[in-house]
């Protein structure tokens, strides 16, 4: 690294459950430095700062106004994403936000407009598609292993979050629900693998009007469910691929694979029946089967020596690395290019998710108008430049 290299100085707003993995990931890379943190709960933020050696604890307003800060890491609850991101952009700071980009198309557009007007970069989670598993799938597709893709099916069936999250309120409020919470992982991944989506239809319902918190200090608290919690979407891609997705907080268990892509010459499968796996994580098994093989081929092979194992392992993102999208964004800012987990990609995903819900209410197909830049695959093995295009 050159002597003039300056890390991106980042202020963290939102110091809840997900912030630990971000802070752990950022600590491994020179590209970013978390210089301050804050939230609505300064007691929580002080504890987080002590745990992760962050020097300053401030209010969110102070962080946004701080001239020593280049970028805001927005890990607030979904209903606050747009307000915090817009305030940061208007104060001249780049933004990396947790998903979703916003809770409405209008707010999403305002964020993109503010980034253009101010010449600033917006990045948005999920960054899981940068993981070894998804880069491997993309390489299999790019190399034509299953021929021309024609279909895709994704599935994430969970029973919600109230058994493991002490404050699960936001998952059942506007901006939450399985399509806006789990959907970004699967849709971002599908768009990375298969290109933009042009038309959708949706059907949605909810199993319960109330949920009860089943862990932590608020155990027993009842929450009103304001959003649909079982959602099916039908997807048409610009490439001609057609697909379907199921995202649910109403499913106790399932053996359905997380993702399958059907091609003229074969199938790629992400098998994990365990709901914590799937498009939600960076690492894991990839299966494919072609017309030439009678069984599934595993990638990486447990003892394999072929190129695929190398491709999966060598760029080093085969562990939970949430926050790597922010590190990649810091590189993109330096190189004057879009980050891979870009605001434009997140806007496309937001437009699709909200259209699926609207389609369920209106009982009609809905056209998707945005066309995002499709992230480049990461440099292949042995490249010293982890993120270069
Ligand atoms: N918890 C998870 O496992 C998980 C996983 C992936 C992504 N996420 C996403 O991360 C985000 C945060 O989730 P979490 O589980 O950490 O939530 P959390 O409730 O544990 O923490 C939210 C934090 O945001 C702060 N906050 C809320 N509104 C704010 C506002 N208006 N201004 C400033 N600060 C505000 C709160 O004080 C708190 O520090 C959400 O978008 C969620 O979808 C969470």
Ligand 1 atom at shortest distance from the alpha carbon of 100: 41
Taking the model in full, what pTM does it have? 0.94
Pocket test for ligand 1, best of 13, 14, 51, 83 (most atoms within 8 A of CB): 14
| Residue 194, pLDDT above cutoff 90 | yes
Burial of 364 (0-12, 13-18, 19+ CB in 10 A): exposed
Q: For position 305, what pLDDT does the model report?
A: 41
pLDDT band at 271 (very low <50, low <70, confident <90, very high): confident
**pLDDT confidence of residue 384:** 46
| Stretch(es) of the chain classified as CATH 3.30.360.10 | 131-313
> Across all residues in the chain, what is the average pLDDT?
91
Distance 74 CA to ligand 1 centre (A): 9
CA of 188 to the centre of ligand 1 (A): 20
Ligand 1: atom nearest CA of 125 is 7
Atom number in ligand 1 closest to CA 99: 41
Task: Quickly state the pLDDT bin for 133 (edges 50, 70, 90).
Answer: confident
Q: How far is the CA of 174 from the centre of ligand 1 (A)?
A: 14
Q: Does any ligand 1 atom lie closer than 6 A to the CB of residue 13?
A: yes
Looking at the chain, which residues constitute the CATH 3.40.50.720 domain(s)? 8-128+322-339
Q: Which residue has the tokens 């399985």?
A: 178
What does the pLDDT look like over 41-69, one tens digit per residue? 999 999 999 999 999 999 999 999 999 99
131-313 carries CATH number 3.30.360.10: yes
Per DSSP, the three-state class of 267 is strand
76 Cβ inside 6 Å of ligand 1: yes
Q: What is the pLDDT of residue 318?
A: 75
Please state whether beta strands 94-97 and 71-74 pair in parallel, antiparallel, or not at all (unpaired): parallel
* CB of 59 sitting under 6 A from ligand 1: no
pLDDT at 185: 95
Helix axes 343-362, 105-117, angle to 10 degrees: 160
C-alpha 109 – ligand 1 centre gap (Å):
22
In short, whether 84's Cβ falls inside 6 Å of ligand 1 is yes
What share of the chain in percent tops pLDDT 90?
80
Determine the average pLDDT of the residues in 230-251.
98
Residue of 11, 13, 17 to mutate, ligand 1, most atoms within 8 A of C-beta: 17
Q: Which atom of ligand 1 is the closest one to the Cα of 170?
A: 19
> pLDDT higher for 334 or 284?
334
* 3-state class (DSSP) for residue 348: helix
Q: Whose CA is nearest to atom 5 of ligand 1?
A: 18
Q: Which residue has the higher pLDDT, 287 or 71?
A: 71
Tell me which CATH homologous superfamily contains domain 8-128+322-339.
NAD(P)-binding Rossmann-like Domain (3.40.50.720)
- Closest-CA residue, ligand 1 atom 33, reads 39
Q: Where are the beta strands (DSSP E) in 176-329?
A: 197-205, 210-212, 222-224, 230-237, 242-248, 259-263, 266-270, 286-290, 297-299
Q: Is 42 in the pocket of ligand 1 (CB under 6 A)?
A: no
78 lines ligand 1 (CB under 6 A): yes
Per-residue pLDDT tens for 342-384?
999 999 999 999 999 999 999 999 999 999 999 999 876 544 4
Residue-wise pLDDT for 174-189, tens only, equals 889 999 999 999 999 9
Specify the pLDDT at position 304: 39
């Amino acid at each position: 690294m050159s002597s003039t290299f300056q890390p991106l100085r980042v202020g963290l707003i939102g110091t809840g459950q997900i912030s630990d993995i971000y802070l752990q990931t950022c600590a491994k890379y020179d590209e970013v430095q978390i210089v301050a943190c804050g939230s609505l709960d300064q007691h929580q933020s002080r504890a987080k700062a002590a745990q992760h050696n962050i020097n300053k604890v401030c209010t969110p307003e102070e962080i946004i106004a701080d001239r020593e800060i280049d970028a805001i890491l927005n890990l607030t609850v979904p209903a606050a994403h747009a307000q915090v991101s817009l305030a940061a952009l208007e104060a001249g700071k780049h933004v990396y936000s947790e998903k979703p980009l916003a809770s409405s198309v209008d707010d999403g557009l305002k964020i993109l407009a503010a980034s253009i007007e101010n010449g600033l970069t917006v990045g948005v989670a999920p960054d899981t598609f940068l993981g070894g598993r998804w880069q491997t799938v993309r390489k299999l597709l790019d190399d034509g292993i299953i021929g021309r893709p024609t279909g895709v099916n994704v599935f994430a069936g969970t029973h919600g979050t109230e058994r493991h999250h002490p404050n699960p309120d936001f998952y059942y409020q506007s901006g939450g629900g399985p399509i806006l919470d789990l959907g970004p992982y699967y849709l971002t991944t599908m768009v990375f693998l298969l290109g933009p989506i042009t038309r959708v239809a949706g059907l949605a319902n909810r199993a319960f009007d109330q949920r009860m918190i089943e862990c932590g200090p608020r155990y027993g608290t009842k929450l009103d469910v304001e959003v649909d919690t079982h959602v099916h979407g039908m997807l048409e891609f610009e490439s001609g691929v057609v697909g379907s997705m199921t995202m649910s907080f109403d499913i106790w268990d399932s053996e359905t694979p997380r993702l399958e892509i059907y091609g003229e010459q074969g199938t790629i499968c992400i098998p994990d029946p365990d709901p914590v796996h799937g498009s939600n994580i960076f690492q894991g098994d990839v299966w494919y089967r072609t017309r030439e093989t009678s069984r599934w081929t595993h990638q990486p092979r447990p003892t394999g020596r072929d190129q695929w194992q190398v491709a999966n392992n060598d760029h080093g993102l085969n562990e939970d690395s949430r926050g790597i999208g922010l590190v990649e964004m810091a590189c993109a800012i330096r190189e004057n290019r879009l980050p891979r987990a870009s605001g434009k990609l997140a806007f496309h995903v937001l437009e699709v998710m909200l259209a699926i819900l609207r389609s369920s209410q209106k009982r009609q197909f809905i056209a998707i108008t945005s066309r995002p830049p499709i992230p480049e695959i990461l440099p292949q093995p042995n490249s010293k430049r982890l993120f270069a295009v």
